[in-house]
Amino acid sequence: MSPTSNSNTLITDANILISVCSKEPTAVVAESVLENYAKHGWEFFAPNLIVAEVLYILCQKFQTGLLTPKSYDEAIENFQDQMKIIQTPGDAQFIKRAKEIQNGYCCSRSADSIYIALAEDLAKTRTVELLTFDRGMINQAAKNAPTVTVKTL
């Protein structure tokens, strides 16, 4: 991937958007942090797989009764609005590197490997932070992609 500028970049993990869109108790903190990054001119990125991850979890929350039909519709609308400012480069270019980053971890860390590979690639030309609630991503990045800065909420 070839970034067009050297601006600061935030990679947003799906769990951040799930929190915001479904109004989880952690949403207040997540929204505040995202607003702060935006206020300081950071660009937002995520791998394409964020769409499937967020849609899946929002659907699960609806099917299990954690979201009402109305709150589910609102969460989907909120998600669509959030994605208007998030750039999503193609994930296929990160397959090989993501497999290397996933090595030594269970298969459930495969998606995280795509986020880390994207962050690693963008960090070649700009300041990048990966924002997540997943503390396990810190160790995975440190072990396999030490140039990636992971920030947890």
For residue 6, pLDDT over 90 is answered with no
Q: Is the dihedral of CA 107, 110, 72, 28 positive or negative?
A: positive
1 part of a folded domain: no
Return the pLDDT at 90.
87
Task: Tell me the whole-structure pTM to 2 decimals.
Answer: 0.89
Overall domain count for the chain: 1
Distance between CA atoms of residues 37 and 31, nearest Å: 10
Lookup result for tokens 């990679």: 11
Distance between CA atoms of residues 123 and 20, nearest Å: 26
Mean per-residue pLDDT for 5-32? 93
Interval 92-151: pLDDT, tens: 999 999 999 988 887 878 899 999 999 999 999 999 999 999 999 999 999 999 999 999
Interval 72-96: pLDDT, tens: 999 999 999 999 999 999 889 999 9
2 part of a folded domain: no
Return the pLDDT at 30.
97
4 part of a folded domain: no
82 part of a folded domain: yes
First to last CA, the chain: 28
Lookup result for tokens 């967020």: 54
> Exposed, middle or buried by CB within 10 Å (0-12, 13-18, 19+), for 83?
middle
72 part of a folded domain: yes
Mean pLDDT rounded to a whole number for the chain: 93
19: domain range? Answer: 9-152
**Percentage with pLDDT > 70 across the chain:** 96
What is the token pair recorded at 52?
A: 């499937």
Interval 95-107: pLDDT, tens: 999 999 988 887 8
CATH number at residue 29: 3.40.50.1010
Cβ atoms of 34 and 20 within 8 Å: the answer is yes
What is the token pair recorded at 37?
A: 């990054």
14 part of a folded domain: yes
26 part of a folded domain: yes
81 part of a folded domain: yes
- Angle in degrees, CA 78, 79, 83, rounded to 5: 120
